[in-house]
Amino acid sequence: MPLAALAGFAAPLHAQERVVPAENVRIDYAQVLRVQPVYQVVNANARERHCTTIANKQRSECREVLVPTEFRRPIAYDVDYTYKGVKYRSRLAQDPGRRLRIRIGVTPIVGSEVGP
């Protein structure tokens, strides 16, 4: 087999040998600065019974009336927190309290990789 033909096999093998650096991960805590609830507003109609007393007849007449009602319920929390002197904001499903558990991940950039 000619040497040029063997060179064609070497290129795909070289591409498969690329090493992907593993991410270094640890867990730490950030200090929560502020928690702001995010509300969902739901408009609905509630039925209420309204009665009127008639003086001549000594009885009351009642009827059902639809009364507009507004409900607010928290659906998320905007959380401002600081970690190592840098401030961050995240929207979370629950109020984290005074400390927020965070994931710290570091991956090296090797060679000509370009990123943000």
Q: What pLDDT, on a 0 to 100 scale, did the predictor assign at position 16?
A: 61
DSSP string spanning 45-77?
EEEEEEEEEETTTTEEEEEEEEEEEEEEEEEEE
Residue 28's alpha-carbon distances to 79, 99, 101, in angstroms, are 17, 10, 6
Q: What pLDDT, on a 0 to 100 scale, did the predictor assign at position 18?
A: 72
- Give exposure, 5-36, as e/b (b: 16+ Cβ within 10 Å): eeeeeeeeeeeeeeeeeeeeeeeeebebeebe
Q: Which pLDDT tens digits describe the chain residue by residue (116 residues)? A: 555 555 555 555 555 677 777 789 999 999 999 999 999 999 998 899 988 887 776 777 888 999 999 999 999 999 999 999 999 999 999 999 999 999 999 988 877 656 66
Q: What pLDDT, on a 0 to 100 scale, did the predictor assign at position 26?
A: 96
Q: What pLDDT, on a 0 to 100 scale, did the predictor assign at position 11?
A: 52
